[in-house]
Amino acid sequence: MKVVYSDGYFLKLGEHVFPAVKYRRIKEKLLEDKIIAPSDLVEPAMATDDDIQLVHTPSYIQKLKMGTFSPVEVMRQEVPYSRELVDAFYLATGGSILAARLAVEERIAVNLGGGFHHAFPDHGEGFCLLHDVAVAIRRMQKERKIAKAWVVDCDVHQGNGTAAIFKNDSEVFTLSIHQFNNYPTWKPASSLDIDLSDGVEDAEYLAKLKEGLATSLERFKPDMLFYVAGADPYREDQLGGLALTLEGLVKRDRLVLEAARERKIPAHITLAGGYAVNVDDTVTIHANTVRVAREFFKA
């Protein structure tokens, strides 16, 4: 199983709730715990402007390159603008494209970056400047490697950018399971939204996710799964209000990936958000997702 990673994923954010160091630490843990071997790591190239324009508007791309954002736009993005930061997002997007290509070839692949599901075609929101998963989907469709994509978003926050980008698109089915009373305030409709109350624990979460996966697959026959595996449904996450345990999150990963395995659907995985009080917990949750993916690959 190939794992896409670059030291360039590091987001230079200064003092920020987003643990930018997590990418390097996940990679180190995966190697230390022998979940992957060094030969499994693949270095991505930056996405090109042609890639980015498959989803994002030319005027927005120009703003990204020139930094010509208003104070309101920067506030909405919630990250301090720099060209280095934009380059990191281009690189993470290139990583998601590469992981999608690898998933077609090898059944499954993981991008240790990405999952920036709050980005819209013409603006960024909520720590997300580019929608790497949407770009990867459009690139795979353009290359005719897939026709129909299934996005399963298990981040604690609804994938509003994903929902907006693929609204009324019969070739992409978007499932988002999230805490309702949380960011974003405005939640455009996904193909299927599972709105959870505050404090939901493992059993209820897993039951509703299982039902949502079954409903999705009754309504839609995908060529590839794009799994946005956020760590922030964890009970000790600073930006979440659900109450999943570490064990519950592993069961979540297995449910999603088993649904794909049973139907021989290639799986593309991005790690998305995670803001646990203890960064070690976030790293463990993400590493566990890769561990489950490895089990999927061997099965």
Fold annotation for 2-298: Arginase; Chain A (3.40.800)
Mean pLDDT, the chain, whole residue set: 96
**76-100 confidence digits (pLDDT tens):** 999 999 999 999 999 999 999 999 9
From 118, 157, 178, 268, active-site residue: 118
Dist. CA 74–CA 169, nearest whole Å: 29
Identify the pLDDT of residue 299: 55
Mean pLDDT by 10 residues, the chain (299 residues): 95 79 95 97 98 98 96 92 94 98 96 97 97 98 98 98 97 98 97 98 98 98 98 97 98 97 96 95 98 83
Per the listing, tokens 């270095």 go with 43
**98-111 confidence digits (pLDDT tens):** 999 999 999 999 99
Identify the pLDDT of residue 19: 84
Of 118, 145, 123, nearest to 134 by C-alpha is: 118
Q: Please classify residue 275 by burial: count the beta carbons closer than 10 Å to its beta carbon, then call 0-12 exposed, 13-18 middle and 19+ buried.
A: buried
* DSSP character string of 12-44: --SS-SS-TTHHHHHHHHHHHTTSS-GGGEEPP
The radius of gyration of the chain from alpha carbons, rounded to an integer in Å, stands at: 17
- By residue count, the chain amounts to 299
Dist. CA 258–CA 263, nearest whole Å: 9
- Write the CA distances from 261 to 79, 223, 267, 293, integer angstroms: 37, 12, 8, 10
Residue 167, helix vs strand vs coil: coil
- Write the CA distances from 122 to 236, 238, 295, integer angstroms: 33, 28, 38
For residue 16, indicate whether it is catalytic.
no
Domain positions in the chain are: 2-298
User: The sheet that has 41-42: what strands, in order across it?
Assistant: 41-42, 2-4, 108-111, 267-270, 224-228, 149-153, 172-179, 192-196
Identify the pLDDT of residue 296: 79
Identify the pLDDT of residue 16: 80
Strand partners, 187: none
Identify the pLDDT of residue 60: 98
